[in-house]
Every structure is written in structure tokens, then in C-alpha cells.
Amino acid sequence: GESVGLHLPTLSVQEGDNSIINCAYSNSASDYFIWYKQESGKGPQFIIDIRSNMDKRQGQRVTVLLNKTVKHLSLQIAATQPGDSAVYFCAERNPGGSQGNLIFGKGTKLSVKP
Amino acid sequence: DGGITQSPKYLFRKEGQNVTLSCEQNLNHDAMYWYRQDPGQGLRLIYYSQIVNDFQKGDIAEGYSVSREKKESFPLTVTSAQKNPTAFYLCASSIERRRNQPQHFGDGTRLSIL
């Protein structure tokens, strides 16, 4: 199967608990951030995004928090379910660097115990 | 249903052979991208295209080539010059490259060496 999860930080949670996945981004000039979910053998799936003029954004069962002071992004998943098991990674866009392209983190593997 | 289709899902390359990975989107997006994913690493950008008949090198373009003759299609050729082609290749698209909009991904092609 897909080996994208090898050698990644792992977060193990009990079904029904809340999960918090963290991401430290690299550039203080980055103005846009995205969280993706990647299941084994599949492409990344968009979860939620946030612009730098916001501190918090909520979706269905997910919340993204942005702390620009310490360049930190987090994804909170409420009432975690077995179907949430996947690799989660963040992406940032620095309009002045990397040709304005997205820069992707390495990811965190979320494992949900039933 | 709108989306991005990558084919084939699995591909094997012989020594000295060029192989082409297909990517088609029906989202009417202007921008398209090719990424390479290796275990435990973030996505790395190979090539991107902002519009038909235009494409630019990303961070790891050596050994790869692309074309963008149609808006919906962005094939990637892995040439014999790419000495370490074994990886998971992901195609993505977005409305425009520099707008703060998410990239949407296909389900990838896994390339291996015979």
C-alpha cells in the first residue's frame, strides 16, 4: 500500500476524542494556509483553509487555528472517527517566495483506535 | 462529477525508457501542477502551468518534461535522465496560480523501476 506515512510523527487517539494536529510554518510573509488529508493510496483531499487576516476558521467537525506570532497552525478534529485515520499535512503560500507556489509540510499520521 | 483523473494508477519503467503520466481535469481550472511524493517527505513541485501553452520549472524539474496543449490536460514525461524515478506522482489544479484558492489533487500514479 501507500508508504507516504513512513517515518512521520504519529498521533494516536481514541475514537470519540478530539484530535489536535500541529504545523510550524516557515515564513512570516505567508498569507494563505491549507490543511489536507491523505488516505493510503490516494491523493491529498482538501479539508479547510485560512487566510492570514484570520485567527480561526471552522468547518464541519474541524477547526483551524492560526498563530502568526509563533508561525503555528493547528487542525482540531472533534469527535474523531476511524475514518479520520490518515496523514494530515499543512501547506503555506508565500506570495514573495518560491515563485508564489505552495510549500507543503511532511505531515502527521493520525491513528484512531476504536 | 468534476475532478482530476490521473492514469495509470501503477506504472513500471525499464532502464533507458521514457514514460508518460496522464492528468486530466474537468474543473475548468487554469493552473495545473505536478508533484513528487517520497516516503516521509513533503510534496515537491516538478512543473506547473498557469495557462495553456505555458509551463514553468518547479523545484525538481531535472529529468522531467511536460506539455500543456489543452486546458484540461497536463501530461508529465519521466525521461531516462531521471535516475531515481520511483515515487508517487500527484497532479493538481487550481483556479489560478496566484489566487488564494486551494489546489485539488488527483489520486496519483505510482511509478516503479523494473
Q: How far apart are CA A72 and CA B45, in angstroms?
A: 23
Residue type, position A9, single letter: P
Residue B59 makes CB contacts below 8 A (sequence gap 6+) with A98, B44, B45, B46
Residue A4: the pLDDT is: 45
Q: How far apart are CA B4 and CA B14, in angstroms?
A: 27
Residue A7: the pLDDT is: 64
A-chain CB neighbours of B108 within 8 Å are: 41-43
- B31 contacts B49 by C-beta, under 8 angstroms: yes
Closest-CA distance, A39 to chain B, in angstroms, reads 10
Cis peptide before B8 (omega within 30 of 0): yes
DSSP helix/strand/coil, A110 = strand
Q: How far apart are CA B36 and CA A91, in angstroms?
A: 15
Cell 506570532 maps to which residue?
A: A69
- B47 contacts B34 by C-beta, under 8 angstroms: yes
Mean pLDDT for the stretch of residues B76-102: 91
A48-70 burial, b for 16+ CB within 10 Å, e for fewer? Answer: bbbebeeeeeeeeebbbbbeeee
Q: Which of B103, B109, B111 to mutate to test the interface with A (most CBs of A within 10 A)?
A: B103
Extract the C-alpha cell encoding B8.
495509470
Q: Is the pLDDT of residue A1 over 50?
A: no
Q: Which of A104, A106, A108 to mutate to test the interface with B (most CBs of B within 10 A)?
A: A104
Residue A6: the pLDDT is: 53
Q: How far apart are CA B99 and CA B84, in angstroms?
A: 33
B62 pairs with which residues across the strands? none
Q: How far apart are CA B57 and CA B94, in angstroms?
A: 17
Q: How far apart are CA B65 and CA B79, in angstroms?
A: 7
A103·B42 Cβ contact <8 A? yes
Closest-CA distance, B62 to chain A, in angstroms, reads 17
- Dihedral pair phi/psi, residue A99, rounded to 5°: 60, 20
A-chain CB neighbours of B41 within 8 Å are: 106
Q: How far apart are CA B29 and CA B49, in angstroms?
A: 11
Residue of A nearest to B50 (CA): A101
Q: Is the pLDDT of residue B26 over 80?
A: yes
Mean pLDDT for the stretch of residues B23-46: 94
Chain pair A-B, CB pairs under 8 angstroms:
64
- Dihedral pair phi/psi, residue B17, rounded to 5°: -100, 145
B-chain CB neighbours of A34 within 8 Å are: 102-103
Residue A26: the pLDDT is: 85
Of A89, A93, A100, the CB nearest to B42: A89
Mean pLDDT for the stretch of residues A9-38: 95
Chain A residues with CB-CB distance to B under 8 A?
A: 2-8, 31-32, 34, 36, 41-46, 49, 51, 89, 93, 95, 98-107
Query: Which CA distances in Å does A62 have to A29, A56, A75, A77?
Result: 25, 11, 7, 5
Mean pLDDT for the stretch of residues B39-61: 93
